[in-house]
Structure 1
Amino acid sequence: MNKLSSFEADIRPLFTQRDIQAMSKAFNLASYDDVKTHAVEIFDRIRGIGGAVMPPPPPKGEGPWTQSRIDLFAKWVADGCPP
C-alpha cells in the first residue's frame, strides 16, 4: 500500500491552531495553496534548517515534530503536494 497523502486528510491536521496563528503573518498553514507554495521552506524549518526548529518547544509551541510526521510531510512534497 503506497497511497498518496492528501493535504486535507493528512497534512492539514499536522498544523495546530497555535501553529497557524504563529505563522499567520508569513502565510496561512491552513491553506493548501500557501502550504504548497512554501512547502520547501516549511520542510526545512520542521527539520531546524534555516532557523530555529518549528514548531518551537513549550511554552511557545507544541515542540518539534516526530520523525514520522516529518516523513509524512516529505512524502507529500515528493508526491507533488496532492490537495
Structure 2
Amino acid sequence: MATPEAPSFELDIQPLFNQRDQEAMLIQFDLWNVEDVRDFAPEILATLESGRMPCYGSWPDEQVQLFKRWMDGGMPE
C-alpha cells in the first residue's frame, strides 16, 4: 500500500502515464513495466523536470514530486 513517503508503482506511478505516453516510449522502454521504469528512472525524472515529457505538455509539479518520492522511497512495486 502506498504511503506519502513511498508511493507504489502500481497504484501511484503507472497511472500517471497514459497509453499515448507508453506507446511513444516503447522504442526505448515500457512505461507500464516497473523494471523498465526503475532502470530509466533518473532519465525519466530529468525529462519530466525539464518539461520535455510528456510530449503533450508538462506534468503538474505535484506529479513530478510524486515520481521523485517514489524514486527516493526505493521504487516499490
TM-score, length basis structure 2: 0.91
1:64 corresponds in structure 2 to 58
SS in 2 for 1:38: helix
| Separation of aligned partners in 2, 1:3 and 1:47 | 20
Q: Quick one: distance in 1 between partners of 2:76 and 2:5?
A: 11
Alignment match, 1:18: 20
Identity %: 39
Match of residue 43, structure 1, among 35, 42, 45:
45
Q: Aligned residue for 1:55?
A: 54
The gaps in structure 1 that reach 5 residues or longer are: none
CA distance in 2, matches of 1:75, 1:2: 8
- Which secondary structure state, in structure 2, belongs to the residue aligned with residue 53 of structure 1? coil
Ranked by relative contact order (alpha carbons within 8 Å, sequence separation 6 or more), the top structure is 2
Name the count of aligned residue pairs: 75
User: Could you say which residue in structure 1 is the equivalent of 2:69?
Assistant: 75
**Secondary structure of 1:33's match?**
helix
Provide the alpha-carbon RMSD of the alignment: 1.4
Structure 2 distance, partners of 1:81, 1:3, is 11
Distance 1:25 1:3 in 2: 32
Q: Indicate the residue corresponding to 2:29 in structure 1.
A: 27
Report the secondary structure of 1:35's partner residue.
Answer: helix
Please state whether the residue corresponding to 2:32 is helix, strand or coil.
Answer: coil
3-state SS, counterpart of residue 6 of structure 2: coil
Specify every segment of 5 or more residues in structure 2 that has no aligned partner in the other structure, as ranges: none
Instruction: From the two aligned structures, give the one with the greater helix fraction.
Output: 2
